[in-house]
Amino acid sequence: MSQLEAAADALGVEMPAADCFLCRRPLTAWLTLPGDWRKPRSVRPWHLLWCDSCSFGAVAPRPSPEELAAAYAVDDYYTHHAPQAVAAVRSLADRLRVKLAWYADLGVEAELAPWSLARHGVRAPASLCDVGCGNGGTLRTMAAAGFQVVGIEPDGDACRTANAAGLHVVEGSAENWPAALSDRTFDVVTMMHVLEHTMDPVAAVARIADALRPGGTFFVETPNNACRGLREAGIAWRWLDAPRHLNFFTPASLQAVCTQAGLEIAAVEYTGYARQFQHDWLSDEQEIHRRLKQLAAGASQIKSTPLRPRNSAWRAMSLLRQTWNASPAEKYDSVRVIARKR
């Protein structure tokens, strides 16, 4: 970026130009955040651009390596720690709302389990590589079910935690494939809520396609940016999380990135309905809203996207009414694509 462009960017006066990773046509303005909600003092615009023909979004310009490292250097980032217990539901209204949502939740299980794979004909003792495995939760489940498992994880601390627990996890990523695994192919590659973090999602999936044996299966899940929850919450949507999330998929664009890598789509599944109505989801969005509001107030020169009304029990009930009978693409916060190598 030139000095002039950088200055314009800092002032929030001009939308940066960037091309769609999928179709290479120019992206257009979508959302602008006044900063990173996890970094209360980081006033700096994050522009999210969109491709209408692919229904795909991307942060542009991409963060520098230093900015990216800083974005993950937050105390509560999940990969460093053991999974936390789900916060208890609080009031009677919370319990009732969540119960209603559970009745309407016909999505698949949120955590990948042996039966998530068996549904698509994949069974132990298949070899499985989990890309972006964090501290190894999925690997542990699959190893216990008889799969031969290996993990790839960019976070050194998470690697050490997983290896100390007896798993085989190698430092690296889809875009920076570890040399130790360069000759190996797998029956299954899983990538759960990781593709949205990659600098080049097309290159990432192409590398994964290379690591699959013919007939091998790829399970990939990302937030679903076609869902109504995003439209309601706007820039305070819990799964937006820029600049850790750099790519924004919908069911159409998640399938497109797989077919571009030469994979065949076997199935599309949805997950994450009832959790959007739980107490911890509401309180997280309220906190994100509060912090973005603070960031925006401290950066009047940034033309950030106006905040939508803050989430509340009332707004959650309204979302429940709107989505109860909606199509899966509008209803669920996440989408999973199952794709096969020919």
Q: Is the peptide bond before 125 cis (omega within 30 degrees of 0)?
A: yes
CB of 51 to Zn ion, least distance (A): 3
Closer to Zn ion at the Cβ: 51 or 212?
51
Shortest distance in whole angstroms from residue 50 CB to Zn ion: 9
CA-wise closest residue to 293 among 311, 282, 307, 281: 307
Of 54 and 60, which has the nearer Cβ to Zn ion? Answer: 54
Least Å distance between CB 212 and Zn ion? Answer: 25
Give all strands (DSSP E) within the chain, no chain letters: 28-35, 43-51, 56-59, 127-131, 148-153, 169-171, 186-192, 212-223, 247-248, 263-271, 334-341
The answer to whether 60 and 18 have CB atoms below 8 angstroms apart is yes
- Tell me the C-alpha distance between 155 and 132, whole Å: 9
Q: Which is nearer to Zn ion, 20 or 302 (CB)?
A: 20
CB closer to Zn ion out of 56 and 219: 56
Please, what is the minimum distance in Å from the beta carbon of residue 201 to Zn ion? 12
Shortest distance (Å) from residue 24 CB to Zn ion? 7
Give me 162's structure tokens: 């997983």
Closer residue to Zn ion (CB): 70 or 202: 202
Cα 134 to Cα 82: distance, rounded to the nearest angstrom: 10
CB nearer to Zn ion: pick between 50 and 77: 50
164 contacts: CB under 8 Å, gap ≥ 6: none
CA distance 282 to 239: 12
CB atoms within 10 A of CB 79: 17
Nearer of residues 51 and 152 to Zn ion, judged by Cβ = 51
Alpha-carbon distance of 294 to 310, in angstroms, equals 13
Q: Which is nearer to Zn ion, 54 or 199 (CB)?
A: 54
Q: How far is the CB of 19 from Zn ion (least distance, A)?
A: 8
Side chain identity at 237, as an amino acid letter?
Answer: W
The two structure tokens encoding residue 169: 């996890």
Binding site for Zn ion (CB under 5 A): 20, 22-23, 51, 54
- Give min distance, CB of 155 to Zn ion, in A: 30
- Looking at the Cβ atoms of 250 and 323, the one nearer to Zn ion is 250
| Torsion angle of C-alpha atoms 227, 231, 235, 237, degrees rounded to 10 | -40
Which residues, in sequence order, are bridge partners of residue 191? 220
Smallest gap, in angstroms, from Cβ of residue 28 to Zn ion? 10
Name the minimum Å distance from CB 76 to Zn ion.
34
Distance CA 205, CA 191 (A): 10
Are 316 and 282 contacting, i.e. CB atoms less than 8 angstroms apart? Answer: yes
